[in-house]
Amino acid sequence: MITVQNLSKVYQNNRAVDDISFTLSSGKCIALLGPNGAGKTTALRMMAGLISPTSGKVELLEEHSGDIRRHIGYLPQHPHFHSWMTGREFLIYAGKLAYLSKKEAASRADQLLTRVGIFEVRNRRISKYSGGMKQRLGIAQALIHKPELLMLDEPVSALDPIGRRDVLDLMEELKKETTILYSTHILNDAEESSDEILLMHEGKIVESGSLSSLKDRHQVDKISLQFE
């Protein structure tokens, strides 16, 4: 549904992302796997339209039209929540920012709170949420405008084992209805949840395909990835 063509980002003399190209097809869950500093966040931020590329472009395939940002939901690595709000208040607020009416925002908020499994704690302040609950709320916020592509930056890396399991299970559910691209530096997370892997190292996509095909080619072993 989206193509990335020769995308690069250069900061001073640092090629954070170096001429990457790939196509994301609908209905898949793809892991952007690479060690710290590989360029994953920079690549995702360019795709989400948050920073402009030095060169190259990101394009929607023909059947999707209009502003690319309407089609993408993005959860940053360190999402910012208004912690004094309840989860429900926060999602209604996010809905209004996405130009939903008050009534539509409330109904979408309730739908999403159920979808991500935090409806029971909807009236609790976000400051009292666990890490896993916050990530679920962040995913709900990213889904508020019904995007076709959900991009998640390191969605499970900072979570304890229970939160991690919950969020990976949620991603498994969501991929039935949304294309997902998520970044991780942890091999096992990529192995467990993705249909395909884009292996990134020093700004480049060095391999792509299933994890077993990457392992066969010993590419993963060459890069110091974290196993947990």
Question: Buried b vs exposed e over 181-193: b needs ≥16 C-beta within 10 Å?
Answer: bbbbbbbebbbbb
When the beta carbons of 16 and 60 are compared against ligand ATP, the nearer one is: 16
Residue in 79, 81, 78, 77 with CA at minimum distance from that of residue 43: 77
First to last CA, the chain: 32
Going residue by residue from 105 to 144, which x/- string records binding to ligand ATP, judged by CB under 6 A? ----------------------------------------
User: Nearest distance from residue 186's CB to ligand ATP, in Å?
Assistant: 10
- Binding-site member from 185, 187, 191, 199 for ligand ATP (CB under 6 A): 185
Going residue by residue from 37 to 76, which x/- string records binding to ligand ATP, judged by CB under 6 A? xxxxxx----------------------------------
User: Nearest distance from residue 77's CB to ligand ATP, in Å?
Assistant: 6
Q: Using CA atoms, how far apart are residues 25 and 92, in angstroms rounded to an integer?
A: 31
Q: Does 184 bind ligand ATP (CB under 6 A)?
A: no
Q: Does 226 bind ligand ATP (CB under 6 A)?
A: no
When the beta carbons of 39 and 95 are compared against ligand ATP, the nearer one is: 39
Stretch of 11-19, 63-71, 122-130, 161-169 lying at the interface with ligand ATP (CB under 6 A): 11-19
3-state secondary structure 119-148: HHHCCCEHHHCCHHHHHHHHHHHHCCCCCC
Q: Using CA atoms, how far apart are residues 3 and 26, in angstroms rounded to an integer?
A: 11
Strands 14-24 and 149-153: unpaired
Q: Does 79 bind ligand ATP (CB under 6 A)?
A: no
User: Nearest distance from residue 122's CB to ligand ATP, in Å?
Assistant: 31
Torsion angles phi and psi, residue 64, rounded to 5: -105, 125
What the block records as the tokens of 21 is: 């190209």
- Binding-site member from 18, 34, 193, 211 for ligand ATP (CB under 6 A): 34
* Single-letter amino acid code for the residue at 129: Y
Q: Which residues bind ligand ATP (CB under 6 A)?
A: 11, 14, 16, 34, 36-42, 185
